[in-house]
Amino acid sequence: MERRLVLGVLVMTVLGGCGLLEEGVRSGSVREGRGEDSREAEPGEVERGVLKGRVADERGRPIEGAEVVADNQLLYDSNEVARTGGDGRYRVATNIGATFHASATITRRYNGREYSLSLAPDDDAPFAGPSGAIRNFTWKLTGAKPDGLGFYGGKVLFRVDLNDQLDTGAFLEDEKVRLTLVPDGPLIDGSEGSRIVRTATRNGDGSGLEDVPIGRYRITADYEGRPLAVKLRGAGDYAQEVVADFTPVMTGVYWIELELGLPKG
């Protein structure tokens, strides 16, 4: 009897060392969010087979209802999804033999429109599902997204009438246009925001400003100190200023589009 017990232990050891029992062991370690030793894991402690973390704004306040997606990198459109609770925390089971990548978004209604906004991860690296990982996310209004995927802010783009009424032989240059944006009420996260004065640059979508916090703005423009008339693209008449909200171009991408020109006379 003793020899059989010893032999059984040796077989289990060999199989485990070869990785043949690894998936079974990992599967048993995730139930009810507990580790292999059945103790309650600390929030900052990695659990095998579990993706977990916290979502907060830039002031550290927890965000409830954020959607966290664990994207299975092996199988297309095979994701696990969780939503954060009142404490901003979430957990997702990832206990299968695949690599995962974590992302998170929140949805907010602002001035009658709905915005779906990407959240900034503290670590954007993929991870092995059975190993588990901790990924915390922050709601940022500005800043570059990982892997060069744009910015957390929106774009203010313009098209300018190139004709200079005071000099018919001259043409206006986009890079000499300066935009002034003054928040008209709180920004999308409820913060006060601040006045933005920046000279336009060219980007892949046109000329204007990149990475502007989502909000409602009173916008004016000038060309080397000469005031420009401004209006929303394709709507209304030119005026000295315009009040504008960001509108969706595609999911998670928001622009304000303007038309500019020198006042006549």
The domains of the chain, with CATH numbers, are: 35-140 (2.60.40.10), 154-261 (no CATH)
Provide the 10 A C-beta neighbour count for residue 91. 19
* CB contact at 8 A, 110 and 217: no
Per residue in 105-142, pLDDT (tens digit) is: 999 999 999 999 999 999 999 999 999 999 999 999 99
Token duo for residue 132: 């588990």
- Choose among 241, 244, 236, 242: nearest CA to 215: 244
Angstrom distance (rounded) from CA 265 to CA 253: 38
Token duo for residue 49: 């087979």
Angstrom distance (rounded) from CA 34 to CA 36: 7
pTM score, whole prediction: 0.79
Q: Is 258 helix (H, G, I), strand (E, B) or coil?
A: strand
Q: One-letter amino acid identity for 153?
A: G
Per residue in 64-86, pLDDT (tens digit) is: 999 999 999 988 778 899 999 99
Residue position matching structure tokens 């579990």:
50
Q: What is the pLDDT of residue 175?
A: 92
Angstrom distance (rounded) from CA 85 to CA 65: 6
Angstrom distance (rounded) from CA 68 to CA 65: 9
Where the chain has pLDDT below 70, the residues are 1-43, 162-170, 264-265
* CB contact at 8 A, 119 and 56: no
